[in-house]
Amino acid sequence: MSVSRRATLKAGAGLALASALPVRANGDAADHPNRLWYDRPASEWVQALPLGNGRLGAMVFGGIASERIQLNEDTFHAGSPYDGTNPKAGAGMRQARELLLAGKFKEAQDRANETVVANPARQMSYQPIGDLMLIFPGIEGAHDYRRELDLDGAIATTRFKVRQVTHLREVIASAPDRVVAVRLSTDAPSGSVSVTVGLSTPQDGEIAVEGDDMIVMRGIGPAQHGVPGGIRFETRVKVLREGGRQITGRDGIRIEGATQVVLLVATATSYRRFDDIGGDPSSIVRADIAAASAKGWPALLAAHQADHRKLFRRVELDLGRTPSADLPTDQRIARSGELDDPALVALYYQFSRYLLIASSRPGTQPANLQGIWNERTDPPWESKWTLNINAEMNYWLADPAGLGELVEPLLRLVKDLAITGQRTARNDWGARGWVTYHNTDLWRQATVNSSAFYGMWPMGGAWLLNTLWDHWDYSRDRAFLAELYPLMASSCQFYLDALVPHPRTGEWVMAPSNSPENSHRPGISIAAGPAMDSQLLRDLFAHTIEAGELLARDAQLRAEIAAKLAKLPPDRIGKAGQLQEWFEDWDMDAPEIDHRHVSHLYALYPGEQITLRDTPDLARAAQRSLQIRGDDATGWGIGWRINLWARLEQRERAYKVLKMLLGPSRTYPNMFDAHPPFQIDGNLGGAMGIGQMLMQSYGGGIHLLPALPRYWPSGRLRGMRARGNIGVDLAWSAGQLSEAVLNAGSSGKVRVHRGDAVLDLNLRAGERVRIVPDAAGLKAQRLGR
């Protein structure tokens, strides 16, 4: 007996046929606002429901006569340890810089393409493990169908009736027990679960049955772009049944007439580190299966949900509810442009928090372009880490949404890049410290990849470090700062060596560089000193000086940094009143005036160098740039724009752009962001924009309801975090603040803003302060500790 690739395709056809089932009313939606639900099975991947424990990902289709659960493991990538360093890059970089500073842009970009781009130019892609396939004989005439994803319980369920028997299928991805677990049951008194269980994989692998209750799939990752495959993987499925009988075949197991079946799925790879793939996946999965088997379903479910809820339940958001919330989730998304559905916004926010919990846990890989979920052997943009916006955007949400510990994988990625990036700094620039460009993969390549047009951007390290600094600023964890500081100091050493004086002004600039993925002339991106470079360096330099002072380290280095910081180019306002994207005023003549990236607005958000109150002229110029750029973009581009309009306190414009993100052209039926195709950064960046509309934290201040649209007149928010280790709870009614409660995790000063009203507070660690509006503006009441 075999569950083959052919059976997988046949099962997929069965899923599509099931889509004609009748609609079931969502009678209990009001009691469970944090649920996605559907009245038919998924017929394609972007309709399936995601589960994850940070390391293992599963996509559940909710089929009836057959079920497909697509599997991922976060370290399973193509290739093997390799070094893409181009030995010509040092001389080529110097030549490209000379040509660039002489105004020979095309010649400079051509030279960089010839000499600086890595070998191979492409990086290695994230890979699917395969599919768990379940085939159920005798399932006909199903009715009262419903599948759902409970965000609070982190469980996907499929429920339907065949005649009078209710069939229930539950799936979890447990972090504490390191398995994907499936429970198949019915409400019949006995003997109603019959299923054939098998595995399939698109990889070079083999599938066999061990004993009478274990299916084993072993394989190896593919070669790619001339780099040999090398990561070995093993997946095991343990079958636990109550009652009935079991028949084993060559590569599958059939169960007949059981009362209940539990399947435990464990997967591991041989990956240890970017330069070590000598692990033993078999011993890992054997141990995981043995430990999970000893617990049983009730204990597995309880441990999983307790672990997940410890994170998920930190934040509650209520924006109000209308009858639209009774519709299936895919219908709410399809009709979002016409519906008044504030609860869909809250669901999107919580779904995005759920995705981060599921795809980034301490000890795992950071969330990649698709988080942890990928069914393709050739995924878009290799489904790796893009450092010129996407990897950073994945973590904007973490601290404000009460998920600060999920930043840990990003710190480890940067630690790895600080190793490989030292080689690149020496080879490409003859510089100290470390550098990385616009992309990296599992093997932590820090080289220029793709082409000079896209890849000649040596600022990836600076943006990553500024993102990690934000975690310090929210948490005020000095142990974390002590880990981060050496990475910051080493990165600054690179920029101190690599910066050159601009021939016209003498200001320090990076050359060659670019404004990410945008061209200032047809086909030409390479430039000297684009605005974003200086903005990133102002933050990195200032943060490193502050960290060095806090830790009492490196006074001489701080002095060197301060000298260079003082001579970075300032932000400039161009001829159309816009914030200039490049050192020169090229914006209005650029080929793509509506480009998806808005890199030069980093200083407005996620940075805080440009603010409405402290730099009003630059804020107006940033707003003008946003107007010129336009609101429509890729999913993540729209997500960034929501944050920018919110920071400008343009509440109705922010809401308009949010509605674009929630529509069917930018949100798939399963609520994944539609770049298109799926990229998780749109979800996570968009959710951060929702949070920014309700509370902002920057410049030593907390801004309450700064971009509250009229469509959310009343609501409640609990558990959001502000910089300085402060918890923030909010309630509002009729568009006005009712109260805010600050929960101080650390002592310090903070300025609270609500419109023009300002309140200065000196908080003590552990105390709670209630803030209410009054005739004079804002009034504080200390509630004790």
Domain range summary for the chain, segments of one domain joined by +: 5-78+125-313, 89-119+360-630, 715-784
- Write the pLDDT tens digit of every residue in 246-261: 999 988 999 999 999 9
Write down the residue that tokens 């509250």 correspond to: 708
Beta strands in 658-724 (DSSP E): 695-698, 701-704, 715-722
Q: Which fold has domain 5-78+125-313?
A: Beta-galactosidase; Chain A, domain 5 (2.70.98)
Which residue type, as a one-letter code, is found at position 289? Answer: I
pLDDT, position 674: 97
Instruction: Examine the pLDDT at 642 and tell me if it is beyond 60.
Output: yes
Contact 417, 440 (CB under 8 A): yes
- Cα 721 from Cα 742, distance rounded (Å): 9
DSSP codes of every residue in 577-621: SPBPSSSSS-GGGSS-TT-S--GGGTTTTT--SS-TTT-HHHHHH
- Cα 704 from Cα 699, distance rounded (Å): 14
- Write the pLDDT tens digit of every residue in 152-187: 999 999 999 999 999 999 999 999 999 999 999 999
Lookup: tokens for 299: 């204990």
Whether a cis peptide bond, with omega within 30° of 0, leads into 120 is yes
pLDDT, position 8: 36
Lookup: tokens for 47: 């309709």
pLDDT, position 776: 85
CATH architecture of 89-119+360-630: Alpha/alpha barrel (1.50)
Band the pLDDT of 31: cuts 50, 70, 90: low
pLDDT, position 7: 38
Closest CA relative to residue 452, chosen from 80, 97, 77: 97
Q: Tell me which of 19-33, 264-278, 602-616 is least confident.
A: 19-33
Region 141-146 average pLDDT: 96
- Cα 40 from Cα 514, distance rounded (Å): 47
DSSP codes of every residue in 255-290: EEEESEEEEEEEEEES--BTTB----HHHHHHHHHH
- Write the pLDDT tens digit of every residue in 294-325: 999 999 999 999 999 999 999 999 999 999 99
- Report how far apart, in Å, the C-alpha atoms of 358 and of each of 59, 316, 329, 341, 361 are: 12, 18, 20, 26, 8
Residue % of the chain over a pLDDT of 70: 96
Region 73-97 average pLDDT: 98
pLDDT, position 191: 87
**Hey, do 5-78+125-313 and 89-119+360-630 end up sharing a CATH topology, with the first three levels equal?**
no
Instruction: Examine the pLDDT at 1 and tell me if it is beyond 50.
Output: no
Instruction: Examine the pLDDT at 743 and tell me if it is beyond 80.
Output: yes
- Write the pLDDT tens digit of every residue in 564-614: 999 999 999 999 999 999 999 999 999 999 999 999 999 999 999 999 999
Write down the residue that tokens 């617990």 correspond to: 295
Lookup: tokens for 257: 């007439």
- Report how far apart, in Å, the C-alpha atoms of 171 and of each of 127, 216, 394, 530 are: 22, 20, 25, 49
DSSP-based three-state secondary structure for 347: helix
- Report how far apart, in Å, the C-alpha atoms of 705 and of each of 574, 647, 752 are: 32, 11, 11
Band the pLDDT of 189: cuts 50, 70, 90: confident
Q: What is the largest CA-CA distance in the chain?
A: 85
Q: Mean pLDDT of all residues in the chain?
A: 95
Band the pLDDT of 190: cuts 50, 70, 90: confident
Write down the residue that tokens 């601009």 correspond to: 502
- Write the pLDDT tens digit of every residue in 445-503: 999 999 999 999 999 999 999 999 999 999 999 999 999 999 999 999 999 999 999 99
User: CB under 8 Å to 224, separation ≥6 — which residues?
Assistant: 78, 79, 122, 124, 125
